[in-house]
Structure 1
């Protein structure tokens, strides 16, 4: 298997399941040797639970490890030794009942099934002390914020601990994805997390195409890459708008909002939808970029780049902005590594991880993107990193759109046939928050028997909780917006 590809496909008969204890030990050894967990999940299989782990090691193809365990079984928790496994093991326990013995923080993730009635009994961490008090925020918020409960344990204004309880809008996405034919899932996949429609759609399309044996032309991947980078720019601008507004830098808030509109309106002119829905489909793209559209997009990006650079310079030079963001909400490099934080949140803490450079595939191998990393780990670093990533996406888009030999006009769809039987396919796409992971497994007739979805927010919410510690409670809105995580992406 090619170590540069953000996809792995394995016949399930080649995945000889280990005993659950041996499986946990093998994962522990791999992580100790420098690997990291991409995803870890399970599904019922008769009277047993089939558990799968996908591991990433630099310079190697994605590795897949499987295990079988009896329902209600137990295994030694990885989290006790490797904190980055904590959320995976909690989710596995909630979905399958497998108990990770020795897990130090075993609590529901999204209150699936019968647990949905137990939201009020969530076992919050508590602190004691005469001057310690708790502040509860949500789950009902002002404006358009989605439901989530934040419980602060404070000493005066200082936050000693924050616990985040989500799960209020659990939709059962993974079960819904098994109720339709695999080729009819595009519209559902695009709405899993609406601000990452392109990242989800591309991962789904890549999996279906691989399972059906449909080759994809380079120009189709280029159009998909253009769509993804436009989505990245637009969504980074959402966070910059929020950060500027939260610290009352109103010129930045208004300007970033206007600039985002220019980008999503350009996306609408290209495909008919401001969020890119309907653009990507298994077998290709519905709309190519002919010469007129290419010129239109280049004109938009030229004007955008000039205005964005000006407002960035104003934002970065303002003493009020620096005073409010520097040193606020620090997530150290060590904490980010220990917790398995991914995507922009990890890169802002000095962790060099970006699938577009680690697993570039054909697209980013031919036209590389430079990974952007900041070392501070604070709100200022996350602000700067968004600006730098926008600039790099602009550079890449111009390179593609200005290349005279590149043909982006093709928009024909190659309809995939039936999916191959007894196959497991895992795809990764670096969305604007981080890796969007999807795993599709087929049975004997080629139909899906399991569809696993993982948003980067699942792993990063705990990083936000750590970053808020030792800050004043009034700093939380800034920290929250600097991470810009998805509630629905966590709750699924």
Structure 2
């Protein structure tokens, strides 16, 4: 069975004809057996070929080895169904629901086949509990404040949450379809708008995919500048989340302090890119702006100051009994849940699971300047907050070390034509976790299919599991401790 798979590296393009085509039973056995051993399901999706048949592609990741394995199966257009693997492999549940929604083929035996982005019909209603004193609480999709739209349906017994069902899709914009239709210039703008707080993460994933498909090798200088912007984005969001957690538990000194630090990192992004969120900086072929020695010295001084301030406010925040009592043992996600459902990013690392694209499937400047992986073991809100603290420290250490030896090179190199009938998987560790972009080109060298997976796609299920058995009053705190994206999920 191993001979019928294709081994790839992150960002390595291959010809479509190289991708093995397995029979349905062999394909499903390969996926299930590999994931029960050491692999995990990085991506599983379908697309309609010119013949009308649906082809399913599965990417398996071997994190410890840094390898990706790829294979596929074909479903005849006259057979709009296939046997679901979710009963044996729960981490496939959302992928199969998406396949059913996008390709109009049904995974037979799927335990919970309901839309993930489209409005629900009478055939796919919400789960409902029954019994004395069981009541239902509906929250959203319109929320107080400025957060994005999402619907949360709780089944409760008194104040205890028995089940939470999350319905999203209210921000669906059809980005994957647009990526096939618009000009290359507009595609970059769309990539930066997948999730507004992850401009660099998705922009870098798109750019790397285009570079791979056109055999464009960017300069070390451009790779270093991309890493600077990506880590500043991580720092801004991590400090912002720590401030929001502080506000949720009423610890206002840290809320104000972390909030100010978030502004400092956004301001650094503004100095580097001309935009507080990093827009119009990363482009296929490199970057648009450089750092001179004066700017590097300024960044170094401001980062050293921010590092001291993060340490001071973190020591205050993580030592107060009133803070610890609200974070510890709240919203627990175990390592078994991470492996079973395929969670990624800080959510996985907070449960002790070492999953970080920068280390496992290294790319860009991270091939030469590595960031130690931050891990915690509790899997609770405290652990997720601690991961953010540790990653802030290590991102600043990484940048300070990088500034000592910034490589030389061109900022932007021309992009050649895309290779026809090729496929590439581009992975980036955004601040929420693993981002993947899959691009498939046709015989005319144009994009025939574009598949995006934001880490929130993996991790919304973690919130559902984390609040079971918790008090409903703890939900806002649990929700903020994951800090997931509605737009990134809805596309």
Q: Normalising by structure 1, report the TM-score.
A: 0.95
**Would you say 1:473 and 2:469 are equivalent positions?**
no
Q: Contact 1:207–1:427 (CA<8 Å) still a contact in 2? A: yes
User: What is residue 382 of structure 2 aligned with on the other side?
Assistant: 380
Pick one of 338, 349, 352 that aligns with 1:350: 352
Greater alpha carbon shift after TM alignment, 55-64 vs 287-296 = 55-64
- Matched residue SS, 2:451: strand
Q: CA deviation at 1:122?
A: 4.5
Pick one of 49, 55, 58 that aligns with 1:50: 55
Greater alpha carbon shift after TM alignment, 22-31 vs 245-254 = 22-31
User: What is residue 104 of structure 1 aligned with on the other side?
Assistant: 111
Q: CA deviation at 1:20?
A: 2.7
- Matched residue SS, 1:195: coil
Provide closer, same or farther for how the CA distance between residues 37 and 145 of structure 1 changes in structure 2, counting only shifts above 3 A. Answer: same
Q: CA deviation at 1:208?
A: 0.5
Alignment of 1:9-28 (within 5 A): 9-28=13-32
- Summarize deviations over 1:405-455 as a string: whole Å, max 9, x none: x236x5531120210111001100000011110001101111000010110
Provide closer, same or farther for how the CA distance between residues 237 and 60 of structure 1 changes in structure 2, counting only shifts above 3 A. Answer: closer
Pick one of 57, 67, 85 that aligns with 1:61: 67
User: What is residue 203 of structure 1 aligned with on the other side?
Assistant: 205
Alignment of 1:6-405 (within 5 A): 6-45=10-49, 46-57=51-62, 58-59=64-65, 61-71=67-77, 72-111=79-118, 116=119, 118=120, 122-182=124-184, 184-361=186-363, 363-403=365-405
Provide closer, same or farther for how the CA distance between residues 477 and 60 of structure 1 changes in structure 2, counting only shifts above 3 A. Answer: closer
Q: For 1:2 and 1:309, how far apart are their aligned partners in 2?
A: 46
Q: For 1:22 and 1:459, how far apart are their aligned partners in 2?
A: 25
Q: For 2:144 and 2:94, how far apart are their aligned partners in 1?
A: 28
Q: Normalising by structure 2, report the TM-score.
A: 0.95
Q: Contact 1:372–1:385 (CA<8 Å) still a contact in 2? A: yes
**Would you say 1:407 and 2:407 are equivalent positions?**
yes
Q: For 1:199 and 1:101, how far apart are their aligned partners in 2?
A: 35
- Summarize deviations over 1:340-367 as a string: whole Å, max 9, x none: 1111101111111111111123522311
Q: Contact 1:209–1:283 (CA<8 Å) still a contact in 2? A: yes
Provide closer, same or farther for how the CA distance between residues 445 and 2 of structure 1 changes in structure 2, counting only shifts above 3 A. Answer: closer
Q: Contact 1:24–1:75 (CA<8 Å) still a contact in 2? A: no
Q: Contact 2:219–2:410 (CA<8 Å) still a contact in 1? A: no
User: RMSD over aligned Cα, in angstroms?
Assistant: 1.7
Q: CA deviation at 1:119?
A: 6.2
Q: Contact 1:6–1:355 (CA<8 Å) still a contact in 2? A: no
* Number of corresponding residues: 484
Provide closer, same or farther for how the CA distance between residues 160 and 186 of structure 1 changes in structure 2, counting only shifts above 3 A. Answer: same
Which runs of no fewer than 5 residues in structure 1 stay unpaired?
A: none
Provide closer, same or farther for how the CA distance between residues 89 and 449 of structure 1 changes in structure 2, counting only shifts above 3 A. Answer: same
Alignment of 1:437-476 (within 5 A): 437-476=436-475
Greater alpha carbon shift after TM alignment, 40-49 vs 192-201 = 40-49
Q: Contact 1:2–1:61 (CA<8 Å) still a contact in 2? A: no
User: What is residue 483 of structure 2 aligned with on the other side?
Assistant: 484
Greater alpha carbon shift after TM alignment, 28-37 vs 169-178 = 28-37
Q: For 1:153 and 1:81, how far apart are their aligned partners in 2?
A: 26
Greater alpha carbon shift after TM alignment, 39-48 vs 278-287 = 39-48
Q: CA deviation at 1:335?
A: 1.2
Greater alpha carbon shift after TM alignment, 468-477 vs 236-245 = 236-245
Greater alpha carbon shift after TM alignment, 433-442 vs 58-67 = 58-67
Q: For 1:76 and 1:122, how far apart are their aligned partners in 2?
A: 19
- Matched residue SS, 1:194: coil
Q: For 1:272 and 1:120, how far apart are their aligned partners in 2?
A: 49
Q: For 1:467 and 1:27, how far apart are their aligned partners in 2?
A: 27
User: What is residue 416 of structure 2 aligned with on the other side?
Assistant: 417
Q: For 2:163 and 2:366, how far apart are their aligned partners in 1?
A: 41
Q: For 1:416 and 1:119, how far apart are their aligned partners in 2?
A: 45
Q: For 1:120 and 1:2, how far apart are their aligned partners in 2?
A: 42
- Matched residue SS, 2:13: strand
- Matched residue SS, 1:178: helix
- Matched residue SS, 1:357: helix
- Matched residue SS, 1:276: coil
